[in-house]
Amino acid sequence: MEQHQEILVRVCARDALADGIVGLTLAPVDGGQLPEWTPGAHLDLKLPLKADDGAEVIRQYSLCGDPRDRSCYRIGVLREAAGRGGSAYVHDRLAPGEVIRINAPRNHFPFEPTARTLFIAGGIGITPILPMVRQAAAEGHDWQLIVATRDRSRLAFEADFAALDPARVTFHFHAEKGLLDLDAVLGPLGAETTVYSCGPTGLLDALTQRSEGAPWQLRIERFAASEPVDTAGKGFDVICASSGERLRVGEGQTILEVVRPAGYKIESSCKDGICGTCETRVLRGMPDHRDSVLTAEERAANDYMMICVSRAQGSELELDI
């Protein structure tokens, strides 16, 4: 079974958004309309590279364009100096005219407007936040945006910020002022405020720590795990619905490590439970969720699980693979 809807797109424009950040505009090769998306969504870019385990290299990039424009998708990509080659390929090889496969957008970071919203974007974390800000502004919600980058040369989307109410937007360049003073920013917030943030692990960890017991709510999206996920646990069986085959997942193994070599085509990317690429439908049994993609409600529903990290609570799981 295919996990995701695959689409063939062509790079129709490419522009330098900031120091080390390139913007790509992707349009469908067949000229039709692209699937709908909502602010906070990301797509999977399927790169013609092989990962260490021989699997296809898939990278997630948040959509930063206008959801009403179904003719193209816009993404912004930071060249990751310590990355595994995905962002370097995008920067060095994806020129206008190149054709590439993507998976249709998915949204694990939806924007649900509340009385007040504080958006905090760190670096390239602005990409999922920007469409949320545009939606909040267009719908007349009460919002503020803090954009934190190393310095102004790293600030992407300046033209987009110029179109927003300047009284609601604050830029923080930590090469000039040091790290953002989160205690000063968060201290005055009350129960009416929801903080949406995306950015480096240090920023998101600091926000998560301060949100515990705080009156305000926090919604974040991570690009990297804050610490390795513990995937250990007792063994269990996985029943693959497409064939009826029963496979044993041993103590030191993940479901992904068992089903893929058995011939089931499962896409994956982070293998840390943060990107959602390996999301798989649960048909029977109770997962032991260990990812940081699903919300508490989604976990409780037990409809889907991330098979790169999550396990079974009981002795078996039947999965839609």
Contacts with ligand FES by CB under 6 A lie at: 268-271, 273-278, 291, 293, 306, 308
Least gap, CB of 273 to ligand FES (angstroms): 5
Least gap, CB of 106 to ligand FES (angstroms): 11
Indicate the residue among 203 and 270 with the shorter CB distance to ligand FES: 270
Indicate the residue among 221 and 291 with the shorter CB distance to ligand FES: 291
Least gap, CB of 160 to ligand FES (angstroms): 29
Indicate the residue among 98 and 257 with the shorter CB distance to ligand FES: 257
Residue with tokens 């080659």: 85
Least gap, CB of 242 to ligand FES (angstroms): 19
Q: What residues contact 274, with CB distance under 8 A and at least 6 apart?
A: 222, 223, 224, 225, 291, 292, 293
Least gap, CB of 112 to ligand FES (angstroms): 22
Least gap, CB of 291 to ligand FES (angstroms): 6
Indicate the residue among 144 and 269 with the shorter CB distance to ligand FES: 269
Indicate the residue among 224 and 286 with the shorter CB distance to ligand FES: 224
Determine the residue type at 165. Answer: D
Indicate the residue among 108 and 154 with the shorter CB distance to ligand FES: 108
Indicate the residue among 193 and 268 with the shorter CB distance to ligand FES: 268
- Asked whether 271 and 250 are in contact (CB, 8 A), the reply is no
Least gap, CB of 266 to ligand FES (angstroms): 9
